[in-house]
């Protein structure tokens, strides 16, 4: 088998979807304002505990799954906090939110190296793998980069101090500042007191869905990597928001998540190839490496060209998935139903 850059999904590439909590369902989003806010705050506390539970494994340095899971947990936690505290957010929350994002960003390059090392290792395991020497050189470069990136990540995490972060955010949530903040957030409304959390959830859905549609459409007109990456980020944001709907048992949310997860995984595979190309180019950009290993560098260049051919295939499939597919049409119809009839849709949870 030739060294085709068709990455498979690693066990850690598809993180488990959190199951809906039966106790949190039963139309909880339409409960009176204080009660619905309390339910969402409980969800935030569960996400916080899940996020912090990965710290020890991450700091050991050799558990790629834990690094991936902690980054995903940080997105889920941030999503719920953004729902509880719409802009303008309290200063204390802005600081805590920056720490969540900082933790995720600190581990980003380590995670990229883990994914690519798994992919390169798979290429080297093939009995007839072509350009084995080139793949081995790429593997060595990734291992060195991973080691340096992990040390930088640990230093950044030590500055964040996750123990203090956990205590501070947990105390912040227990003080019921979510309710106070949302009450202030809606104080200038003319209508009756805010009846439930549903309004804020639907408002967030409209915002994230609008961003998703805009980024997808932009990527259809302009297939540059940064534009497609923007569509990938918008897909993640929408997916993690819909996980909140799923947590509260909203009908249709599970089906929507299945397709969004497929789209995100496909874009993730494309992104892996994009990052692999960037790292191979960085590897060859070192003057001393070119001077001492010119024939090998030429072989790595061939890998880059094959990588680009594979990326084109991923981009074509992505365009088909996201343009006029049956799944995309169903997602649009479901989102439109939620926005048009939130009381009916959310009451069925």
**Per-residue tokens: 156:** 């950044």
Taking phi first (over 0 means left), then psi (-120 to 50 degrees means alpha), and beta for anything else, what does residue 27 get? Answer: left
40 or 191, which is more confident: 40
- Radius of gyration, alpha carbons of the chain: 22
First CA to last CA distance, the chain: 50
Would you tell me how many other CB atoms lie within 10 Å of the CB of residue 291? Answer: 9
Q: Answer whether residue 346 shows pLDDT above 90.
A: no
Q: Alpha-carbon distance 132 to 119, whole Å?
A: 13
Taking phi first (over 0 means left), then psi (-120 to 50 degrees means alpha), and beta for anything else, what does residue 161 get? Answer: left
110 or 193, which is more confident: 110
pTM for the model: 0.85
Q: Alpha-carbon distance 234 to 101, whole Å?
A: 16
CATH 1.25.40.20 given to domain 197-349: no
Name the residue ranges covered by the structural domains of the chain.
Answer: 21-125+148-196, 197-349
pLDDT digits (tens, 9 = 90+) for 247-294: 888 999 999 999 999 999 999 999 999 999 999 999 999 999 999 999
pLDDT digits (tens, 9 = 90+) for 207-223: 999 999 999 999 999 99
The predicted model gives 315-334 an average pLDDT of: 95
Q: Report residue 130 CA to chain centroid gap.
A: 34
């Amino acid at each position: 088998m030739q060294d085709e850059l068709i990455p498979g999904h690693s066990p850690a590439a598809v993180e488990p979807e959190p199951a809906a909590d039966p106790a949190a369902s039963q139309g909880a989003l339409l409960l009176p304002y204080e009660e619905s806010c309390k339910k969402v705050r409980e969800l935030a506390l569960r996400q916080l505990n899940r996020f912090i539970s990965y710290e020890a494994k991450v700091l050991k340095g050799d558990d790629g799954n834990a690094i991936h899971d902690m980054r995903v947990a940080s997105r889920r936690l941030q999503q719920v906090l953004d729902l509880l505290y719409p802009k303008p957010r309290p200063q204390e929350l802005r600081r805590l939110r920056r720490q969540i994002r900082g933790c995720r960003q600190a581990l980003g390059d380590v995670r990229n190296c883990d994914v690519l090392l798994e992919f390169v290792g798979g290429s080297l395991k093939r009995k007839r793998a072509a350009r084995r020497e080139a793949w081995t050189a790429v593997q060595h470069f990734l291992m060195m980069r991973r080691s340096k990136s992990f040390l930088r990540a640990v230093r950044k995490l030590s500055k964040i101090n996750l123990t203090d972060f956990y205590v501070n955010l947990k105390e912040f949530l227990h003080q019921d500042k979510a309710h106070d903040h949302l009450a202030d957030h809606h104080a200038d409304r003319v209508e009756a007191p805010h009846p439930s959390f549903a309004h804020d959830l639907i408002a967030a859905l409209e915002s994230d869905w609008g961003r998703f549609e805009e980024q997808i459409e932009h990527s259809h007109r302009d297939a540059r990597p940064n534009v497609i990456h923007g569509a990938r980020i918008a897909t993640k944001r929408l997916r993690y928001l819909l996980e909140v709907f799923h947590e509260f048992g909203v009908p249709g949310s599970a089906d929507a998540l299945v397709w969004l997860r497929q789209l995100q995984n496909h874009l993730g595979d494309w992104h892996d190839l994009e990052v692999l190309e960037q790292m191979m180019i960085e590897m060859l950009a070192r003057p001393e490496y070119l001077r001492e290993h010119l024939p090998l560098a030429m072989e790595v260049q061939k890998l880059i060209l094959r990588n680009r051919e594979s990326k084109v295939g991923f981009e074509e499939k992505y365009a088909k998935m996201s343009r006029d597919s049956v799944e995309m049409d169903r997602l649009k119809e479901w989102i439109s139903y939620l926005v048009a009839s939130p009381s009916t849709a959310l009451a069925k949870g």
